[in-house]
Structure 1
């Protein structure tokens, strides 16, 4: 009998879903949404948990065999010395939500929705400057599963898609791949730069003053990956100096973003409170159930993460 601990803000919901699944040889030892007071963890075999919460308890789980993360970002766990267990992430559940988020803002800017609203308020029939996405250049930093989903829909809009990725180069919807040594060419002429990079030692602060200076002044930056990939002071300077048209920011190096941060009051910044593509218990539960069956059969788990690579 495997002993499971559930540690997530939706803990009760997950417990209900797992009870309905009636998985064999699995007993839920605890189910909670905080780490303030924890039960005995010495016998826990499996955790279904949010990375930030799990990182506070895994060192007290000597028998932990497998941890199923409920989030896409798992750096809090990668940063720990403990690496003697299987860690699986979530894949194939965020593509549609992320694409919807990205295109909501690219269409907002290309069709100049705000400009039309302003003309309406002034009862002016003359249309403001506007355009379409067809033929526009989209650069994607981090072409993993989520990035591939965005690229597919971008091609359907007739956009030209550039991808910059360390390992993934197999997306048929990316027109051209680049490496970091080709960052100048990658950035040249971009209309939109989408960052979907994970947070690692290699990606921390990669969007800095040097990279931002390579972008055209009409470019819109969309960060829906990890806040730590951006040097926020450098971005703030670029936005204040209008060397970048706008920034759509879903994530930040420190969350929640402090109320005194200048980003809140800037007209060319759009903040979305880490909601671009949220984990839904029903989706994550399906992944857990599939992986539990694989775990029971001693087969490779779906979405297995590499502690050494950090993703």
Structure 2
């Protein structure tokens, strides 16, 4: 039986998926018709990324699932017309891309690279950094991406701790949970990575109070969600020396407006939401695997818990 897949994503994504996704489905033993304009009543699965043309999921009465191409689902989860099962994207490309970004910036901070790369006064300061095992790194969020990155940093020798809402165990990583655990991990993290989802509970989690709990001179890396950080509180923490530097890849408004104070703050590095990108090849394999599971009556992978927001 041929399955009808509706590709509902920004137009620029179509060229990347129009051949790759059917090939992945064919390799999984699925006969699919991938289109951008299938009649709603004929759609079996919606392959989705936020776009301007899709807001009402009610007409898709036959659709068995909405399969998101993005890891974050905060832009769709509150849509009351979306009654179909919703999955988020977790694939090797996302995990590896996030690992590469985080390891790179942790190493940058750990080794003090900025002082050597930008040294106009030609200062000869022969202060060697500590070994990785003496550097405390914290990761907030131990989902698929957070756990993968925490393990990678641990394998490099860093003293890694991770925090999540619920108790988790991760080899080589000290884990914390709950409010007490959050306070504990903040107090120990010389380099802190934010990989939490955007939910009402995490918005402005990094307020003045949270920054005050960090060791003086801590570094922040945020490739998670822009709403995690109170922008004014971060600027105040930088001005006070509580935070020495922040690398930010995500923002409340993207692209970041050219007049935003983050651009002119020398202790902030702005990267243009490049920490991890959905790769069509690996994402298509995940989509095909989930469709195959659904057709076989098996549980969908990476099913979104709407009560939790991710």
Taking structure 2 as the reference length, the TM-score comes to 0.89
Shift of 1:19: 3.1
Q: Is the 8 A contact 1:143 1:168 kept in 2?
A: no
Q: What SS is found at the alignment partner of 1:154?
A: helix
Q: In the aligned structure 2, how far is the partner of 1:149 from the partner of 1:274?
A: 19
Shift of 1:95: 2.3
Q: Which residue of 2 aligns with 1:107?
A: 107
Q: In the aligned structure 2, how far is the partner of 1:67 from the partner of 1:53?
A: 16
Residues 38-81 of structure 1 deviation map (CA, whole Å, 9 limit, x = unaligned): x7434322111214558624244343321111110011121111
**2:233 pairs with 1:230:** no
Q: In the aligned structure 2, how far is the partner of 1:300 from the partner of 1:73?
A: 20
Residues 158-216 of structure 1 deviation map (CA, whole Å, 9 limit, x = unaligned): 22222210135021232232322333222113111111000111111111111011112
Q: Which residue of 2 aligns with 1:264?
A: 263
Q: Is the 8 A contact 1:55 1:77 kept in 2?
A: no
Shift of 1:88: 1.3
Q: Which residue of 1 aligns with 2:4?
A: 3
Q: In the aligned structure 2, how far is the partner of 1:29 from the partner of 1:110?
A: 48
Q: Is the 8 A contact 2:21 2:281 kept in 1?
A: no
Q: Which residue of 2 aligns with 1:211?
A: 210
Aligned 1:1-311 pairs, distance under 5 A = 1-8=2-9, 9-21=12-24, 22=26, 24-30=30-36, 40-52=39-51, 56-93=55-92, 94-119=94-119, 122=121, 125-128=124-127, 130-167=129-166, 169-311=168-310
Q: What SS is found at the alignment partner of 1:292?
A: helix
RCO comparison, higher one (Cα < 8 Å, 6+): 2
Q: In the aligned structure 2, how far is the partner of 1:161 from the partner of 1:54?
A: 43
Structure 1 residue runs without a partner (length 5+): 32-38
Q: In the aligned structure 2, how far is the partner of 1:238 from the partner of 1:110?
A: 20
Query: How has the CA–CA distance of structure 1 residues 83 and 58 changed in structure 2, closer, same or farther, with 3 Å as cutoff?
Result: closer
Quote the RMSD (CA, aligned, Å).
2.2
Taking structure 1 as the reference length, the TM-score comes to 0.89
Q: Is the 8 A contact 2:141 2:196 kept in 1?
A: yes
Structure 2 residue runs without a partner (length 5+): none
Moved segments of 4+, more than 4 Å: 52-55, 121-126
Q: Is the 8 A contact 1:46 1:67 kept in 2?
A: yes
Q: In the aligned structure 1, how far is the partner of 2:237 from the partner of 2:142?
A: 25
Q: In the aligned structure 1, how far is the partner of 2:279 from the partner of 2:52?
A: 17
Q: Is the 8 A contact 2:30 2:292 kept in 1?
A: no
Q: Count the aligned residue pairs.
A: 303
Q: In the aligned structure 2, how far is the partner of 1:286 from the partner of 1:122?
A: 51
**Bigger Cα displacement from structure 2, 101-110 vs 60-69:** 60-69
